[in-house]
Amino acid sequence: MTAVILATACAVVYGTADFFGGLATRRSRVLAVVALSQLAGLALILVLLPALPGLFSGGALGWGLGAGLCGAAGLVLFYRALASGVMSVVAPTTAVTSAALPVMYGLARGERPAPLALAGVVLALGSVLLVSQDRTAAGSGSTGSLLTALAAGAGFGGFFILLDLTPDGAGLWPLVGARLSSISVVVALALATRRALRPSTGSLPVILAAGVLDMVANVLYLLAKEQGMLSLVVVLVSLYPASTLLLARQVLGERLHAIQVTGVACALGAVALIAVA
């Protein structure tokens, strides 16, 4: 039950972070948003290290560095897709892809969830697909933004898998490694492409909010995976588009269709099934 609560909370925070990230990329360059948000996350994790101590090791830092490379690629692609596509389509598409890879990995390494939990997994993935449906002309999006969202999902899936490979008892050190590598990659990319990392006027608070919330969600994910199976935790985390969608509806006025409401209801049902399994 603890893993279910942590993973569900993680999904809510991830969805909120992605909403702020999507807003920021509509005001500033993608690399500026990613770099500054990642710096905000690094500052938070350094503050939290004494509160959630762990054993420092080369394995913890190394797997974290690898996870950071995948996460940075996923984040750059995700924010780019959000900037060019419809938020309520891009987020669910990314979520399904990011969940599918860790689920297959977890099952391949021998995880065997209870039948009721597996039903919850199927319902959860289906709910994300329902949430992603947008029948308006503007909601169809471009093929380019859809492919970018799929690639972003693959990056996030790799991030989840590599963090799961970190040694037990590592605490938050894998996230330190992840942030160091992701920031290095983004800064190097900005220098190579001669892109400025200065945010546009008024966008900095939104960028910082996205970075802090993203790191809070990462911490919740680490805590959740220590309490439950990866194949179940990641599926619950993948429900984050529901909160992104609701925020987009309330703040941006993106219309919520009946099929999307059904998807949100299915997501709640999936959480219930996994919780009682």
274: its two tokens: 């996994």
pLDDT, residue 87, reads 64
**The pLDDT of residue 243 is above 90:** no
Mean per-residue pLDDT of the chain: 84
pLDDT, residue 107, reads 85
For 114, other C-beta atoms within 10 Å of its C-beta total 14
Identify the residue with better confidence: 135 or 74: 74
Separation CA 204–CA 169 (nearest Å): 35
Q: How many domains is the chain built from?
A: 1
Q: How far is residue 195 from each of residues 9, 190, 202, 210, measured CA to CA in Å?
A: 35, 5, 19, 21
Separation CA 60–CA 68 (nearest Å): 12
- pLDDT tens digits, one per residue of 199-214: 888 889 999 999 999 9
pLDDT, residue 210, reads 93
**The pLDDT of residue 137 is above 50:** no
Closest CA to 276 of 50, 4, 54: 4
DSSP state of 150: H
Residue with tokens 């891009």: 90
Q: Which domain holds residue 150?
A: 2-276
**The pLDDT of residue 69 is above 60:** yes
Closest CA to 241 of 134, 106, 111: 134
- pLDDT tens digits, one per residue of 9-62: 999 998 899 889 888 887 788 888 888 999 999 999 999 988 887 888 999 999
Identify the residue with better confidence: 63 or 236: 63
For 25, other C-beta atoms within 10 Å of its C-beta total 25
- pLDDT tens digits, one per residue of 139-196: 455 677 778 888 998 999 999 999 999 998 898 999 999 999 999 988 898 888 888 8
